């Protein structure tokens, strides 16, 4: 129970403290901007939750996001419709996820190494295709995804809610979700039990890739450009969100609500630092410290239990 409550309590305390500390915090504009700023990390963190529960890791999320965002915006530039361009981005993300999953399961290479490799490859190809230049000529309507409102709340929040609900259902209410937990908790026992371990591991990376593709289009929409250099260092924030939310790098542990809370904790820390005039340099150090603190508290709790 503690495990679920601690991140949530932290989030609540942070929320109240910032409300008291800054008059600008508890305003619609500010909160909406927090949601918009964290949406990209949040969406990718949902896929990462599954990957980490399955005992893996994906360092390539930022690069895959940039690749998909670039190809999606290039499609827009070439006159494709918005849905078609988004679909292209999702397919790109899925392709990279499949590549990661297949390399990990078929060649039996450590996921850290595989995704470190695909990070470099995806980033490199993105720069080659774009010649290092951003894509600018994008239809104005495209901005709606990242900046528009639907029923009074940011559209990205709807996207996030749908993705989170979908991921949560997969994880908690499907056979695949159960297998993901089993694979991450004890891959050998999963194998002995006759679970198709390679298939499900690959599927999890592919799903994570699709969400990276979606995140790429959200980012492109917010910036209204296709940036080949977008998403640098996002992988660390995404992993941090999962870990702060109770995911374990040993596998077998984690949840969608936890990850959302973890991502929002990081979002509030960044937003609060801005409001309180803390330098962005110090922000990085604070977030780093929070990651270590979250994992340390979790480890201490487990040690007391066993």
Q: Fill in the per-residue mask, 243 to 282: x = in contact with other proteins (CB under 8 A), - = not in contact.
A: ---------xx-----------------------------
Q: What's the CA gap between 69 and 231, in Å, rounded?
A: 10
Tell me the two tokens of residue 238.
């995404």
> Which of 67, 155, 181, 205 lies at the binding interface for other proteins (CB under 8 A)?
181
Please state, in angstroms and rounded to a whole number, the distance separating the CA atoms of residues 303 and 286: 26
CB closer to other proteins out of 1 and 151: 1
Among residues 4 and 178, whose Cβ is nearest to other proteins? 178
Residue placing its CB nearer to other proteins in the complex, 123 or 200: 200
**Is the CB of 78 or the CB of 189 nearer to other proteins?**
189
Binding mask 130-169 for other proteins (x = CB under 8 A): ----------------------------------------
SS3 152: coil
- 149 phi/psi in degrees, rounded to 5: -120, 145
Among 19, 193, 229, 279, binds other proteins (CB under 8 A): 193
Count residues binding other proteins (CB under 8 A): 22
Shortest spacing between CB 254 and other proteins, in angstroms: 12
**Interface region with other proteins, contact rule CB under 8 A, candidates 111-119, 133-141, 187-195, 211-219:** 187-195
**Which run of H or of E encompasses 150?**
strand 149-150
CB atoms inside a 10 Å sphere around CB 104: 24
- Which one of 58-66, 176-184, 227-235, 254-262 is the stretch in contact with other proteins (CB under 8 A)? 176-184
Per CB under 8 A, does 186 bind other proteins? yes
Kind plus residue range of the DSSP H or E element containing 233: none
Q: Are 73 and 226 in contact (CB under 8 A)?
A: yes
Closest to other proteins by CB, 50 vs 70, is 50
Exactly one of 32, 117, 125, 178 binds other proteins (CB under 8 A); that residue is: 178
Q: Does 179 bind other proteins (CB under 8 A)?
A: yes
Of the candidates 295, 203, 301, the residue with the CA atom closest to the CA atom of residue 248: 295
Q: List, in sequence order, every residue forming a beta bridge with 149; answer none if it has no partner.
A: 154
Q: Which residues of 31-66 are buried (b: 16+ CB within 10 A; e: fewer)?
A: bbebbbbbbbbbbbbbbbbbbbbbbbbbbbbbbbbb
Residue number with CB closer to other proteins (192 or 281): 192
- Are 61 and 237 in contact by the 8 Å Cβ rule? The answer is no
Site of interaction with other proteins (CB under 8 A): 173-179, 181-182, 185-186, 188-196, 252-253
């Amino acid at each position: 129970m503690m495990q679920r409550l601690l991140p949530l309590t932290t989030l609540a305390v942070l929320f109240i403290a910032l409300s008291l500390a800054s008059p600008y915090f508890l305003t619609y504009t500010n909160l909406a901007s927090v949601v918009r700023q964290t949406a990209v990390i949040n969406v990718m963190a949902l896929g990462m939750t599954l990957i980490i529960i399955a005992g893996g890791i994906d360092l390539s999320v930022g690069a895959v996001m940039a690749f998909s965002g670039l190809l999606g915006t290039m499609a827009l530039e070439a006159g494709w419709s918005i849905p078609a361009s988004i679909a292209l981005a999702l397919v790109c993300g899925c392709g990279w996820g499949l590549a990661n999953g297949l390399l990990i399961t078929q060649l039996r290479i450590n996921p850290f190494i595989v995704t470190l490799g695909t990070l470099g490859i995806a980033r490199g190809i993105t720069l080659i295709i774009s010649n290092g230049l951003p894509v600018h000529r994008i239809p104005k309507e495209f901005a709606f995804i990242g900046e528009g409102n639907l029923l009074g709340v940011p559209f990205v929040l709807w996207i996030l809610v749908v993705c989170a609900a979908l991921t949560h259902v997969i994880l908690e209410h499907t056979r695949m979700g159960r297998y993901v937990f089993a694979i991450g908790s004890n891959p050998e026992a999963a194998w002995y039990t006759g679970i198709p371990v390679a298939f499900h591991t690959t599927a999890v990376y592919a799903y994570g890739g699709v969400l990276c593709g979606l995140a790429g289009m959200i980012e492109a929409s917010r910036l209204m450009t296709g940036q080949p250099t977008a998403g640098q260092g996002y992988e660390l924030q995404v992993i941090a969100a999962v870990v702060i939310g109770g995911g374990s790098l040993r596998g077998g542990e984690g949840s969608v609500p936890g990850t959302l809370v973890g991502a929002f904790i990081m979002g509030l820390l960044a937003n609060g630092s801005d409001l309180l005039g803390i330098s962005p340099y110090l922000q990085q150090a604070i977030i780093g410290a929070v990651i270590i603190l979250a994992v340390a508290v979790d480890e201490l709790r487990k040690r007391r239990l066993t």
